[in-house]
Amino acid sequence: MLFNSLHFLLFFIFVTTLYYTIPWKLRWVLLLAASAYFYASFIPVYLIILGVVIVIDYFAGIWIENSKGQKRLLLLILSLVANVGFLAFFKYFDFLNNNITHALQLIGQKNEIPPLREMFPALILPIGLSFHTFQSMSYTIEVYRGNQKAEYNFGIYSLYVLFYPQLVAGPIERPQNVLWQFREKFDYDWENIRTGLTLIAWGMFKKVVIADRLALVTDAAYSDVSHQSASTLLIATFFYCFQIYCDFSGYSDIAIGTARVMGFKLMTNFNAPYFAESISEFWKRWHISLSTWFRDYVYIPLGGNRRAKSRVYFNTMMVFLLSGLWHGADWKYIIWGCIHGIYLILAQIFNTHTIFRREHVGKGGPVPVRLFHIVWTFLLVAFAWIFFRANSVSEAFEIIRKIFDISDYGIPVIDMNAGEFIFSLGLLLLLIVKDKYFSRYIPETRLFWILFPLICFCCYLFGVFTSNQFIYFQF
């Protein structure tokens, strides 16, 4: 069930209306049933896979809390292995198997293990598996650390994993933030309704009006790289930077807004990332729930920045290699993560050994200097996005070769007429102004009744309603 569908609109209205109608003690039951229906609407068998993970971590949390010493650690390890095992089987089996095949071919040997989809033709990667796996892992880790009490109500714990607004593409929540909310009585609150509906409307606008319109250009250019000029690929890459941002942050806005209408407060997942003045700041603004997950559960346990410089560089690279692998079972994602790791390591080196320290570019710095750092950071991020969007590593290098070949520039040929192109640029300007000056703006009641219908009308009038799923569904 896509957020940008009539099916979801009817589902949302029905569930929310019923939510405020029934006794509050039954609300978690309603949300659990609605979330199960929401997930099953994609492919029903997904629920079985998710159910197994839920059962494992539910009992693991209780056993960890009631155990002592090394047994607690063993139980945590078993829980993490089970979660990572499911993820590895469905998402990474073929990737690992293909690389083994290529390695054996180099020495004249043959890999007898067939691809997963040859063994199980009907097998499909469950939507959002990486997201709810990480959310489940955060629960057992926090119980082990003593930061969260084990949840004994199986239904409430199931809802923590299944909660439909953020089930398939985040934000990746922590148990301390949401578990207690499922027991709270949220009365009808106009402020929550107004905030939630505003976020939903703006998120939908970013998805169907901006992201899916830009996709017409990026998809056409990246689907046939060899026949595209450098100027066409450069425009497509520029558009993709904003396409993926509007697509993913649009989903997050809808998810957070949907939850807020019912009283729940989910964490902010994006904070105007393209206004970052460094790569480090970019990752404090982009996909915040994932970057903080890796920080708290990988980077800091590895030693963080409390070790020798060489170890800090290793920890940084490890986090971004894993982040790249998390995004997809393909070398192009690993290279994308590696590029960001290199960016941050170089920034750490130069911050240590030169006078151009990051703190010289603070809030009170000269505007031209700050603008230079914003543009430079954006260009670095855009370069890395090429690997993320390209169909293969070889195509990514071909795109880079073309873009840096001055002789290959000419009149761009894009799948969009001049009027649409100018309109798209206007939308990007609107997005930039909104992120800069109105990033967290929620209109007062009187203005809300003007802005909300206006945004909805613009979605209907200018929306590109295709079968495009949200980009991050694949992860």
Active site residues: 327
Rounded Cα–Cα distance for residues 326 and 91 (Å): 9
Rounded Cα–Cα distance for residues 119 and 101 (Å): 16
Rounded Cα–Cα distance for residues 299 and 291 (Å): 10
Q: Could you give the count of Cα atoms lying within 13 Å of 397 in the half-sphere of its Cβ?
A: 5
Cβ-Cβ contacts under 8 Å for 78 (sequence gap 6 or more): 60
DSSP code, position 278: S
- Of the candidates 93, 86, 397, which has an alpha carbon nearest to the alpha carbon of residue 225? 397
DSSP code, position 273: G
H helix or E strand, kind and range, residue 8? helix 6-19
Rounded Cα–Cα distance for residues 335 and 387 (Å): 7
**37 class by beta-carbon count within 10 Å (0-12 exposed, 13-18 middle, 19+ buried):** middle
Peptide bond into 171 cis (omega under 30): yes
- Of the candidates 219, 210, 264, 151, which has an alpha carbon nearest to the alpha carbon of residue 391? 219
DSSP code, position 271: S
Structure-block tokens of residue 369: 């200097």
140 in Cβ contact with 58 (< 8 Å):
no
Rounded Cα–Cα distance for residues 15 and 333 (Å): 37
Cβ-Cβ contacts under 8 Å for 241 (sequence gap 6 or more): 274, 378, 381, 382, 385
DSSP states of 444-464: -HHHHHHHHHHHHHHHHHH--
218 in Cβ contact with 14 (< 8 Å):
no
DSSP code, position 399: H
The one-letter amino acid at 354? T
353 in Cβ contact with 340 (< 8 Å):
no
215 in Cβ contact with 240 (< 8 Å):
no
161 in Cβ contact with 135 (< 8 Å):
yes
